[in-house]
Amino acid sequence: MDFKRTLKTLILAIAGGAFTLTTFAQWQWLDKDGRKVFSDRSPPTEIQEKNILKRPPGSARPSTAAQADAASPALAVSAAKANTPKLSGKDSELEAKKKKAEEEETAKKKLEEEKVVKTKSENCDRAKSGMATLQSGVRISSVNAKGEREVYDDAKRAAETKRTQEVIDASCQ
């Protein structure tokens, strides 16, 4: 249940973050890898005009010739790097929550597997004990539906031995 709640919270946080970015960002463009970038600064000079998706009203991107006249090429490169937003593409808090949820899920599965193994082991021990009793030749009896005691005859003993062997085959692997 907690995993579902965490997942819903995560989805809402991502949707809210995307809404916030689109409401406050004035520039949108596609970077060299084809990912959308939202920023309040203009895109770097290496971004082509066709990749700019949205710009603030009344703003025009300065031409590269004007920039080259105003500064040396080394300054132009450093200015372009300064305007480039540093986006890692990952949210460390979100990644930590995902990792924690995965670890909890793994722990649950491991606990369930341990329970299954323990149950099979107990069933195996009981079946082996019952098989030893059946094969010992000791007189065995059981109570029927009427509450009367019935002693196992050869057919009943053979049927019970077969059933116990099936349990051993299934549980003792």
Model confidence over 60-103: pLDDT tens digits?
A: 655 544 444 444 455 555 555 556 555 566 688 888 999 999 99
Residues of the domain holding 56: 2-89
Residues 62 and 123 in one domain: no
CA dihedral 49, 53, 59, 65 (to 10 degrees): -10
**CA 83/CA 101 separation, integer angstroms:** 37
Q: Tell whether pTM > 0.75.
A: no
Least confident span in 26-30, 35-39, 60-64, 167-171: 60-64
106 domain residue, yes or no: no
User: How many C-beta neighbours within 10 Å does residue 16 have?
Assistant: 10
Number of domains in the chain: 2
Is the predicted pLDDT of residue 17 greater than 70, yes or no? no
7 domain residue, yes or no: yes
104 domain residue, yes or no: no
35 domain residue, yes or no: yes
Q: What is the pLDDT of residue 65?
A: 46
**CA 111/CA 18 separation, integer angstroms:** 38
Please give the full DSSP string across 32-64, using - where no structure is assigned. TTS-EEEESSPPPTTS-GGGEEE--TT--PPPH
99 domain residue, yes or no: no
Let me know: does 7 contact 23? Beta carbons within 8 Å: no
Residues 58 and 130 in one domain: no
